[in-house]
Amino acid sequence: MDVTISPSILNCDIANLASEIEKVRNADYAHVDVMDNHFVPNLSWGLPVVEAVIRQDILPVDAHLMIEDADSWAPAYAEAGCASVTFHAEAAVAPIRLAREIRRQGAKVGMALRPATDITPYIDLLPEIDMLLVMTVEPGFGGQSFLKSMMPKIRRTRDAISTANLQVAVQVDGGINRETICLAAEAGANVFVAGSAVYKAEDAYSEVEALRQLAKTHC
């Protein structure tokens, strides 16, 4: 599958939202982390900021919902115009119904797993989603160190997708930089969320291109 780069705006200057997204206009998506201070111990922003990113019309929005009661809230993000909406399996009571509702609203469906959550119970759900997000840090804060211990989980996920002959993307989020993107790509990931590595770089546009090339070649 094609390599996809999705910079997280969690690390950008939100006061200059349009110009910050413009810096990474060569990316595939703008990744927006929604946190409610309940599912994760941090509070970021909600639907109004997501809608503001959509209005900029620079990049499609990849929304990552780290929130409780995903069944109630996730469809609204699809309805607002997100290109992709990812909910956490741990926060969904009826993940299949939720996935179908997100898709009915016109968005691609992502399902995320915390580091300690096993992929095995969710393998049968893979046909219902477009992307499986394997968290490579504990969700909640940017700038954390990459968990190399997640590489076997990424491999198991990719193997399960291949065995089922599905076109499901594998996304990684947390600690992605020029070194770790190589490990994740080699393990089978093809969608990469990078926050600090991109927005703390001297040239965010060039960093997006560098990460893309590294992922394509597995370094």
Is 13 annotated as catalytic?
A: no
Q: Counting beta carbons within 10 angstroms of the beta carbon of residue 121, is it exposed (0 to 12), middle (13 to 18) or buried (19 or more)?
A: exposed
Of 28, 62, 130, 173, which is the active-site residue?
173
Both structure tokens of 180: 């770790």
Of 28, 33, 62, 130, which is the active-site residue?
33
| Cα angle value 115/189/176 (rounded, 5°) | 65
Q: Give residue for tokens 């990078």.
A: 194
Is 124 annotated as catalytic?
A: no
| Cα angle value 151/82/54 (rounded, 5°) | 120
Alpha helix (H) ranges present in the chain? 17-22, 47-56, 70-80, 95-104, 151-163, 180-187, 196-199, 204-217
Neighbours of 60 (CB within 10 A): 18
Torsion from C-alpha of 43, 49, 51, 57, nearest 10 degrees: -130
Active site residues: 33, 173
